[in-house]
């Protein structure tokens, strides 16, 4: 009888031990799941690095002639109807903005979205050649070109977060009408006029009324209300 009791006790102890092992394994699996979920936004940002802890840093990533694109940056893209592409995360906001603009009898479209480094280099080379053909030296031509075309590796177009917006030629209004509407309303959708006329010395780029950058709705409204550029907003 005593042996039977001891055997039952051993079985009970083994059962408790087995349950404890299962619990520990589940806990380890839960921790791994949490870690994986925390790191996913950083990978989704296209940089393979954490850009803001919560994964939201991609919206405010500063890229200009002094701050190049992080190495390995490769956004997930969504192609537009005309063959241009944008970062997939901004597509719905861009679409909403365009839909609302159309209710004002405007017909905006993206004539430049994401660019590869090769395309950006080609644009720079062409701009330099245009100035040289006008009689400028190569050094002067390059300096002047860089006022309009970002040096490859420092263009927001390579992020997929910036778009050049124009007006459909078949529309009853002009591109200027579209740009005016965007200046007054783009912040509602998370976009900002990236290169304002009075911020050239700070941004390093000449005034471009067609160039809009997604930064998220909260930041866009703050930037719009304060009348600052992205560099000023980020304290750079």
3-class secondary structure for 37-54? HHHHHHHHCCCCCCCCCC
Structure tokens at 171: 């529309």
Q: Residue 197: its pLDDT value, please?
A: 95
Question: What CA–CA distance (Å, rounded) separates 198 from 19?
Answer: 68
Q: Residue 171: its pLDDT value, please?
A: 56
Question: What CA–CA distance (Å, rounded) separates 170 from 152?
Answer: 33
Q: Residue 3 pLDDT more than 70?
A: no
Cα–Cα–Cα angle for 230, 231, 236, rounded to 5 degrees: 150
Q: Residue 225 pLDDT more than 70?
A: yes
Distance set, CA 186 to CA 88, 117, 181, 193 (Å): 18, 27, 8, 8
pTM to 2 decimal places:
0.73
Question: What CA–CA distance (Å, rounded) separates 101 from 29?
Answer: 49
In three-state secondary structure terms, 192 is strand
Q: Residue 54: its pLDDT value, please?
A: 35
Q: Residue 28 pLDDT more than 90?
A: no
208 annotated active-site? yes
Q: Which parts of the chain are beta strand (E)? A: 77-79, 85-87, 108-112, 162-167, 191-193, 211-214
- DSSP H or E stretch at residue 128: helix 117-133
pLDDT, one tens digit per residue, over 75-96 is: 999 999 999 999 999 999 999 9
Of 3-12, 64-73, 196-205, the least confident: 3-12
Q: Residue 35 pLDDT more than 80?
A: no
Q: How confident is the prediction for the chain on average, in pLDDT?
A: 82
Of 82-96, 102-116, 126-140, 168-182, the least confident: 168-182
Residue 234: band (very low, low, confident or very high) from pLDDT cuts 50, 70, 90: very high
Q: Are strands 211-214 and 108-112 parallel, antiparallel or unpaired?
A: unpaired
b (16+ CB within 10 A) / e for 70-99: eeebebebbebeeebbbbebbbebbeebbe
Catalytic choice (208, 218, 231, 232): 208
Q: Residue 50 pLDDT more than 50?
A: no
Q: Residue 56: its pLDDT value, please?
A: 60
Crossing angle of helices 175-185 and 91-102, rounded to 10°: 120
Residue 147: band (very low, low, confident or very high) from pLDDT cuts 50, 70, 90: confident
Q: Residue 33 pLDDT more than 50?
A: no
Average pLDDT over residues 198-207: 94
Of 21-30, 97-106, 206-215, 223-232, the least confident: 21-30
Structure tokens at 12: 């009970």
Average pLDDT over residues 56-82: 94
């Amino acid at each position: 009888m005593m042996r039977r009791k001891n055997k039952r006790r051993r079985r009970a102890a083994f059962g408790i031990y087995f349950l404890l092992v299962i619990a520990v394994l589940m806990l380890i699996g839960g921790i791994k799941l949490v870690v994986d979920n925390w790191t996913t936004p950083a990978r989704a940002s296209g940089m393979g690095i954490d850009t803001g802890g919560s994964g939201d840093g991609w919206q405010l990533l500063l890229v200009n002639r002094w701050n190049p694109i992080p190495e390995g940056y490769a956004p997930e893209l969504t192609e537009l109807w005309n063959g241009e592409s944008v970062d997939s995360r901004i597509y719905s906001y861009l679409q909403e903005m365009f839909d609302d603009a159309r209710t004002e009898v405007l017909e905006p479209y993206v004539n430049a979205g994401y660019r590869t480094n090769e395309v950006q280099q080609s644009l720079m080379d062409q701009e330099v050649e245009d100035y040289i053909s006008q009689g400028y030296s190569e050094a002067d031509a390059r300096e002047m070109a860089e006022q309009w075309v970002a040096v490859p590796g420092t263009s927001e177009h390579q992020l997929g977060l910036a778009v050049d917006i124009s007006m459909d030629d078949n529309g009853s209004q002009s591109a200027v009408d579209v740009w005016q509407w965007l200046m007054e309303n783009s912040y509602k959708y998370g976009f900002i006029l990236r290169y304002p006329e009075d911020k050239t010395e700070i941004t390093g780029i000449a005034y471009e009324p067609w160039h809009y950058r997604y930064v998220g709705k909260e930041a866009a409204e703050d930037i719009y209300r304060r009348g600052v550029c992205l560099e000023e907003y980020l304290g750079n």
